[in-house]
Amino acid sequence: MPQRHFRRNVQNLPPNPGADVLRYGWEKENVISLAQGEGCAPTPDFIIQAANKAMCEGKTHYGPVLGQPLLREEISTYYKRIFNVDLPPNRAFVTGSGTTAMHLALTGILETDDEVVAITPIWKNLLGATELAQAKTIQVPLDYDQTKGWSLDMDRLLGAVTEKTKAILVVTPSNPTGWCMSAKEMQIVLDYARARDIWIVSDEVYNRSAYGVSHAPSFLEVAAPDDLLMTVNSFSKSWAMTGWRLGWLTGPEFAENFIRDIALYDNMGAPTFTQFGAIEALKNGEEFIAEQMTLWEGNIDLLMDWFAQKPNTYISRPQSTFYGFFKVDGEEDSLGFAMKLIDEAGLSLAPGCAFGKNCDNWMRLCFAVSQEKLTEALNRLEKVIG
């Protein structure tokens, strides 16, 4: 079918090199993949059993577009218990994945030629959501220091806002760097956005994956109920539910009807029975989260010890998430390096070019796996970088 039959902005979507690497690795035999953002643990039985019970009880029909009332109430309870935030159920919108939540948020607020100021490195799908809305992304990269790690230049971020800016897009904790925006920084950004009547869209999918604390800071902890703020979250990471495609979006009360209308034309809401598994995840998932965090923190120690023996590499200990973001002297083409690792070492990693500008000499490694698998992956990496 000729390309002209598709919308111009769809035709002009830039390639997704991260997806290209995944597909290339899947075509090969005996490849260890640490390129995708998920752990090796299956969804816990207590979550599966709750969803199965719901199916057996006939909860397989259409449901409310913005989610089962019981799940929206449980999300409200969860925010009070974990974050000490009062979030009424009508400000929680259940979605078919965190990605869908982001699309609903950006589709709802962006018009053609609007600008979104985004902190990078950032997951490519979020940039793609902006491009599909025919808006423009202004990328503001984090700074990197080998000793201090990743940091945000607040003046650079706020200086990127123009009269065309509709939203500031933040991913905190950051995929792929593990950087977290502090509560103080959130307050600065919030005050600035309030004064200019622009949105903050905060992807907080990894906020239960912060080390040494119960959770990473959330914009909901500093915002007022009517602020122009939407936060994105997901059941994928902390509860090992990537394949369930289930997430949620929070916003001010006045956003509820708008998000409902968009979701109605998108997919009419998340699958009914899966939401009863999600309720169980929020209610009884803390022990599982703690177990996962213990595994991942041990893997960070292994990872950092390994890279410490490689003087030609650069990496900082992540504050959160389950990614090691690193670079190797002499490897400036991350996509080419990623393909080389698959061909020569049977190892699939995500190329830095998939995360925005100024990242082409970086690589992302997902360490949410067993220590045995991580050790074997690092042994394969050593074959290439020495």
What is the reported pLDDT for 24? Answer: 86
Is residue 162 domain-shared with residue 270, that is, in the same domain? Answer: yes
Exposed, middle or buried by CB within 10 Å (0-12, 13-18, 19+), for 226? exposed
Q: What is the CA radius of gyration of the chain?
A: 21
Is residue 129 domain-shared with residue 25, that is, in the same domain? Answer: no
Asked if residue 361 lies in contact with residue 44, where contact means CB atoms within 8 angstroms, the answer is no
Q: Which of 262, 284, 306 is the last residue of a domain?
A: 284
pLDDT at 125 exceeding the cut of 80:
yes
What is the reported pLDDT for 178? Answer: 97
What is the reported pLDDT for 290? Answer: 97
Domain count, the chain: 2
3-state secondary structure at position 102: helix
Is residue 103 domain-shared with residue 163, that is, in the same domain? Answer: yes
Q: Which of 284, 302, 328 is the last residue of a domain?
A: 284
Q: Which of 237, 263, 284 is the last residue of a domain?
A: 284
- Which tens digit of pLDDT belongs to each residue from 228-272? 999 999 999 999 999 999 999 999 999 999 999 999 998 899 999
What is the distance between the alpha carbons of residues 355 and 267, in angstroms, rounded to a whole number?
Answer: 27
**Domain of residue 54, CATH code:** 3.40.640.10
- Which tens digit of pLDDT belongs to each residue from 177-230? 999 999 999 999 999 999 999 999 999 999 999 999 999 999 999 999 999 999
What is the reported pLDDT for 268? Answer: 93
Is residue 204 domain-shared with residue 298, that is, in the same domain? Answer: no
Asked if residue 16 lies in contact with residue 128, where contact means CB atoms within 8 angstroms, the answer is yes
Is residue 75 domain-shared with residue 88, that is, in the same domain? Answer: yes
**Domain of residue 342, CATH code:** 3.90.1150.10
Choice between 121 and 22, residue whose per-residue pLDDT is larger: 121
Is residue 252 domain-shared with residue 360, that is, in the same domain? Answer: no
Is residue 89 domain-shared with residue 209, that is, in the same domain? Answer: yes
pLDDT at 341 exceeding the cut of 90:
yes
Is residue 217 domain-shared with residue 257, that is, in the same domain? Answer: yes
What is the reported pLDDT for 2? Answer: 65
What is the reported pLDDT for 11? Answer: 81
- Which tens digit of pLDDT belongs to each residue from 60-107? 999 999 999 999 999 999 999 999 999 999 999 999 999 999 999 999
- Which tens digit of pLDDT belongs to each residue from 274-297? 999 999 999 999 999 999 999 999
Cα distances from 188 to residues 62, 72, 105, 119, 155, in angstroms, run 42, 30, 22, 15, 11
What is the distance between the alpha carbons of residues 272 and 68, in angstroms, rounded to a whole number?
Answer: 7
Asked if residue 245 lies in contact with residue 97, where contact means CB atoms within 8 angstroms, the answer is yes
Is residue 111 domain-shared with residue 212, that is, in the same domain? Answer: yes
Choice between 306 and 129, residue whose per-residue pLDDT is larger: 306
- Which tens digit of pLDDT belongs to each residue from 37-65? 998 999 999 999 999 999 999 999 999 99
Is residue 228 domain-shared with residue 340, that is, in the same domain? Answer: no
Domain that holds residue 211: 45-284
CA angle 187, 192, 194 (to 5 degrees): 95
Is residue 80 domain-shared with residue 164, that is, in the same domain? Answer: yes
Is residue 19 domain-shared with residue 68, that is, in the same domain? Answer: no
pTM of the entire structure? 0.95
